Amino acid sequence: MSANIPVSILVMFLTIYGVRVLPLTLLKKEIKNPFIRSFLYYVPYVSLSVMTFPAILSATADVRSGLAGFAAAVILAWVDGNLFRVSLGACAAVYLAELFL
């Protein structure tokens, strides 16, 4: 097992845990500022995306096939939203891209 996987999982855990728990423990009043509220809401999603995107590109033999799978997944998620169909479509896009590249 690569040493990067446990470290990545630990960093993701600490990021999400810190963003969700620290405001509850350190602040006594409700946060009313909409900017801070939206920032605290989106930080876990952004941090997971930033850690996942490079893995998507390096998971295949060619970066272009990873980008094809990513693009297919984004389009299918936007249109349909069904996780099973999105994953099948992304896998099919990567397969076809690897076949023709």
Global pTM reads: 0.63
| 40 and 74 co-located in one domain | no
The confidence score (pLDDT) of residue 2 equals: 62
| 47 and 85 co-located in one domain | no
| 47 and 63 co-located in one domain | no
Buried b (16+ CB within 10 A) or exposed e, 41-54: eeebeebeeeeeee
Which tens digit of pLDDT belongs to each residue from 23-77? 778 777 888 889 988 988 888 888 888 888 999 988 898 999 999 999 999 999 9
The confidence score (pLDDT) of residue 70 equals: 95
| 96 and 73 co-located in one domain | yes
User: What is d(CA 85, CA 78) in angstroms, rounded to the nearest whole number?
Assistant: 12
Biggest alpha carbon–alpha carbon distance for the chain: 58
| 37 and 64 co-located in one domain | no
| 71 and 36 co-located in one domain | no
| 72 and 45 co-located in one domain | no
Q: What is the pLDDT averaged over residues 75-86?
A: 93
Is the pLDDT score of 18 beyond 80? yes
Domain, as residue range, for 101: 59-101
- The token duo for 22 is 């620290």
The confidence score (pLDDT) of residue 68 equals: 95
